[in-house]
Amino acid sequence: MSKTTVAPTPAPAPAPAVRVSGLRRSYGSTVVLDNLDLTVADGEFVCLLGRSGCGKTTLLRTLAGLDKADVGVVDVPDRVAVVFQEPRLLPWKRVGFNVRYGLPNNRESAARAQAALAEVGLDTHADAWPKSLSGGQAQRVALARALVREPQLLLLDEPFASLDALTRITMQGLIRDLAERHGAAAVLVTHDVDEAILLGHRVLVMDGGAFTYEVDTSEAGRSHRGSTPYEALRRDLLKHLGVEET
């Protein structure tokens, strides 16, 4: 009896976490987002770099559902969490409540909040008041509040901007590890080229509401600062941002 072998059907590629096409947004006569297309794969970490006013925050707010496109398709998963530049905690509620705010008021939510606090190294702070936290600790609580929702997409709008340089380095490592561990896709807005290279699998440069450059940083991001591939990538990005190095 002859045997027929059937070639296995390739598994379908997983649906991307973010699919944006033809996105336009204007305020009056000012075009802020101009016919943007963006796809972010599941588990991918994308960083947006661009000069002030180029439309980064507007794009992030649109992905978060906080701003509305004039035209275009914006397809994001159901569970999206945002971390802003400031922690935005409720000062009259304890840390644990802030983390589980919006979840059902039950023991499971309290346990999930506690686990999220442990992930950001603040498991002993559930009963603390926000005003007793340092800036870095408060931003960790904001991160725990995002993670407790088990987001499929994490949106980060300059979350380290108000932190001191040392805390910033710790937070960068933490966010990278957590995004990886949770398998969440992430979009980070930053002004910092090194931060973008360090955290991103891919870096997009925006100018005038459009993407003007894109680079895969997954390899160079693992190289040390100062190494040849890292410095070449850094110079390349600075050039596309229109920054002259002296």
Ligand X SMILES: Nc1ncnc2c1ncn2[C@@H]1O[C@H](COP(=O)(O)OP(=O)(O)OP(=O)(O)O)[C@@H](O)[C@H]1O
* Beta strands per DSSP E along the chain: 18-27, 30-40, 45-50, 71-75, 80-83, 153-157, 185-190, 202-207, 210-216
CB of 131 to ligand X, least distance (A): 27
Nearer to ligand X, 53 or 229 (CB): 53
Nearest approach, Cβ of 76 to ligand X (angstroms)? Answer: 18
Q: Tell me if 52 contacts ligand X by CB under 6 A.
A: yes
Query: Could you report how far apart the first and last alpha carbons of the chain are, in Å?
Result: 76
Binding piece for ligand X, criterion CB under 6 A, among 47-55, 133-141, 195-203, 212-220: 47-55
Asked if 187 is part of the footprint of ligand X (rule: CB under 6 A), the reply reads no
- Which of 93, 119, 89, 152 is CA-nearest to residue 111? 119
Q: Of the candidates 32, 83, 141, 205, which one interacts with ligand X according to CB under 6 A?
A: 32
Q: Six-digit token pair at 92?
A: 């009259």
Instruction: Mention every residue, 6+ apart, whose C-beta is less than 8 A from residue 194.
Output: 225, 234
Residue 216 C-beta: closest distance to ligand X, Å: 23
Question: 199 by DSSP, 3-state: which?
Answer: helix
Judged by beta carbon, residue 44 or residue 158, the one nearer ligand X is 158
Range in contact with ligand X (rule: CB under 6 A) among 25-33, 105-113, 167-175, 216-224: 25-33
Evaluate whether 17 touches 41 at the Cβ level (below 8 Å). yes
Nearer to ligand X, 56 or 112 (CB): 56
Tell me: does residue 53 bind ligand X (CB under 6 A).
Answer: yes
Q: Can you tell me the distance from the alpha carbon of 59 to that of 40, in angstroms, rounded to the nearest whole number?
A: 13
Q: Residue 63 has which token pair?
A: 């992905």
- The answer to whether 144 contacts ligand X (rule: CB under 6 A) is no
Contact between 50 and ligand X by CB under 6 A: the answer reads yes
Give the Cα separation of 43 and 186 in Å (integer): 7
Closer of 32 and 95 to ligand X (Cβ): 32
Q: Which residue stretches of the chain are H helix?
A: 56-63, 95-100, 107-119, 135-147, 165-182, 193-199, 228-240
- Region of 48-56, 108-116, 131-139, 146-154 interacting with ligand X (CB under 6 A): 48-56
Residues 54-93 that bind ligand X (CB under 6 A): 54-58
Interacting residue ranges for ligand X, rule: CB under 6 A: 27, 30, 32, 50, 52-58
